[in-house]
């Protein structure tokens, strides 16, 4: 029996996520980054005068990617400490450098800096994908900018909008999320080399009390890993508010995706917007006619999972005792990777959804025409007031007409005739309000202006981003 059939396999790995995101949270990337951090520390210490040789560094560099995981596992069973296990496994491969690996550092030097490197790289990957989602959705919105449809407030029929304008509601939320992700990528700080309690005492001892060298060693290492700033104050670990803020940004995106997918699920019931449906796709094992919006449903399900994970860093931040405690470690090993994997899955599903989305404009227009006589009443109310009538009186008369019309199921022509008599308005004046384009206001212009002024500059900045999306077949 195959391993995947007799042991638990994450649905993320099996179904939804990209190989690029999977690699960023793999053991190879994590512990390979430990080694890169040890090498960067040794190089910086050598430049600042510590007795570290080029041959020691060369030996470390020669084995940076050759991790003996079996040996590391044996050491971890012995030491009950993953960082010490990998120090020894690396030292076995680099005997000449064994004495200077992890010199002056505490475990958080590699664990926390690696977490920050992982999260920054993962967020870059997500932002690249989100920029493509924004591009697809903007194209959809422009195409449907003047396609009229019913709008809904309280899920009750309301004044018409356009399909493109509704898409811009989703688009604006995604743009806000993208801008927030950009901010985190630019501002996320490096922990640096802070020592056991954040005082850098061990490094200060190595540099014979030269505080200037403390700053230089941190700047050298942080710049090598693409960080423009170093966290100025820390305990043993970086403040867990960094995790809290970053996962909140992922949660915000998940909420945006959930809102869009929910709207599409509701609209698919109305048959106005439909997901792509494969030639051999089965909607239900019992009901052969079913055509379910499965990708929108999956987006909602995973989004709820991501939103639930964002609670974890709040609890972790709140329960960090003094300079650090260790109950955060097991939680963060789960909540941080799963949050990023979840968002990657949502983006992959969104890409599949948007590249296979279809609109039935005729169905949307039919639904609109069914409600049009009632939707025109707001504009008719404005006309009555312009002609000198009382707003409150006209409102009450229209309200009564609407109720009786619903009960009696009057035709549009009959309703116009009733309004004409009740408000002393001319039929020709009223008929103009029963055209969809007279009721959806400036929706098309809003779409084009929003995309030109807000979306286009963002997409221009990310024009070179062309991530590959996995085939979402399941």
Split at pLDDT 50, 70, 90, the class of 166 is very high
The Cα-based distances of 109 to 23, 76, 152 in angstroms read: 21, 18, 53
Split at pLDDT 50, 70, 90, the class of 421 is confident
Q: What's the rounded mean pLDDT across residues 160-184?
A: 98
Residues belonging to the active site: 154, 284
**In this model, does residue 169 exceed pLDDT 60?**
yes
Whole-prediction pTM value? 0.92
What fold, for 109-276+289-360? Fumarase C; Chain A, domain 2 (1.20.200)
Top-confidence residue, 200 or 406: 200
What fold, for 20-103? Fumarase C; Chain B, domain 1 (1.10.275)
Top-confidence residue, 4 or 251: 251
- Enumerate long-range contacts of 386-394, CB under 8 Å, 24 or more apart: 387/425, 389/423, 394/423
Q: What's the rounded mean pLDDT across residues 344-358?
A: 96
Split at pLDDT 50, 70, 90, the class of 283 is low
Contact yes or no for 164/383 (Cβ under 8 A): no
Split at pLDDT 50, 70, 90, the class of 429 is confident
**Residue 341's closest CA among 10, 17, 11, 2?**
17
**In this model, does residue 285 exceed pLDDT 60?**
no
Split at pLDDT 50, 70, 90, the class of 167 is very high
Mean pLDDT: which of 351-355, 389-393, 462-466 is highest? Answer: 351-355
**In this model, does residue 290 exceed pLDDT 70?**
no
Residue located via tokens 């109720």: 403
- Quick one: pLDDT at residue 10? 83
Percent of the chain residues past pLDDT 90, beyond the cut: 75
In the chain, what are the domain boundaries? 20-103, 109-276+289-360, 377-438
pLDDT in tens, 49-89: 999 999 999 999 999 999 999 999 999 999 999 999 999 99
- The DSSP string of 371-392 is HHHHHTHHHHHHHHHHTT--HH
* Residue 3 burial by Cβ neighbours in a 10 Å radius (0-12, 13-18, 19+): exposed
Split at pLDDT 50, 70, 90, the class of 8 is confident
């Amino acid at each position: 029996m195959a391993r995947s059939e007799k042991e638990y396999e994450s649905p993320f790995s099996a179904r939804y996520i990209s190989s690029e995101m999977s690699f960023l949270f793999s053991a190879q990337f994590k512990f390979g980054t430990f080694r890169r951090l040890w090498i960067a520390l040794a190089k910086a210490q050598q430049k600042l005068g510590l007795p570290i040789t080029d041959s020691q560094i060369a030996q470390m560099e020669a084995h940076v990617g050759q991790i003996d995981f079996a040996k590391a596992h044996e050491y971890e069973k012995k030491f009950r400490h993953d960082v010490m296990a990998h120090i020894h496994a690396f030292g076995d491969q680099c005997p000449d450098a064994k004495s200077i690996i992890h010199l002056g550092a505490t475990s958080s030097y590699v664990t926390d800096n690696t977490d920050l490197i992982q999260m920054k790289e993962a967020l870059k990957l997500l932002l690249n994908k989100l920029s493509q989602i924004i591009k697809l959705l903007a194209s959809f919105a422009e195409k449907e900018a003047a396609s009229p449809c019913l709008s809904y407030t309280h899920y009750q029929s309301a004044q018409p909008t356009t399909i493109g304008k509704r898409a811009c509601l989703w688009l604006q939320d995604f743009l806000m999320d993208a801008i927030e992700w950009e901010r985190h990528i630019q501002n996320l700080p490096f922990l640096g080399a802070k020592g056991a309690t954040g005082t850098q005492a061990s490094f200060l001892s190595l540099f014979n009390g030269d505080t200037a060298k403390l700053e230089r060693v941190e700047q050298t290492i942080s710049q090598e890993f693409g960080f423009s700033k170093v966290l100025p104050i820390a305990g043993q670990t970086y403040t867990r508010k960094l995790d809290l803020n970053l996962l909140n940004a992922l949660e915000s995106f998940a909420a945006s995706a959930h809102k869009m997918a929910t709207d599409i699920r509701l609209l698919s019931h109305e048959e106005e917007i439909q997901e792509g449906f494969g030639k051999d796709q089965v909607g239900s094992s019992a009901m052969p006619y079913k055509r379910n919006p499965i990708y929108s449903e999956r987006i909602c399900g995973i989004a709820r999972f991501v939103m639930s994970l964002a609670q974890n860093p709040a609890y972790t931040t709140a329960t960090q005792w003094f300079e650090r405690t260790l109950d955060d470690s097991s939680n963060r090993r789960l909540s941080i990777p799963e949050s990023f994997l979840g968002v990657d899955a949502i983006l992959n599903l969104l890409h599949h959804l948007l590249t296979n989305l279809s609109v039935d404009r005729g169905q949307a227009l039919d639904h609109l025409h069914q409600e049009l006589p009632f939707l025109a009443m707001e504009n008719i109310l404005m006309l009555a007031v312009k002609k000198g009538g009382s707003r409150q009186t006209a409102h009450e008369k229209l309200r009564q007409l609407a109720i009786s019309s619903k009960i009696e199921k009057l035709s549009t022509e009959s309703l116009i005739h009733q309004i004409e008599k009740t408000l002393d308005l001319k039929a020709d004046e009223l008929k103009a309000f029963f055209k969809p384009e007279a009721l959806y206001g400036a929706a098309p212009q809003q779409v084009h202006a929003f995309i030109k002024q807000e979306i286009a500059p963002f997409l221009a900045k990310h024009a070179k981003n062309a991530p590959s999306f996995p085939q979402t077949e399941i």
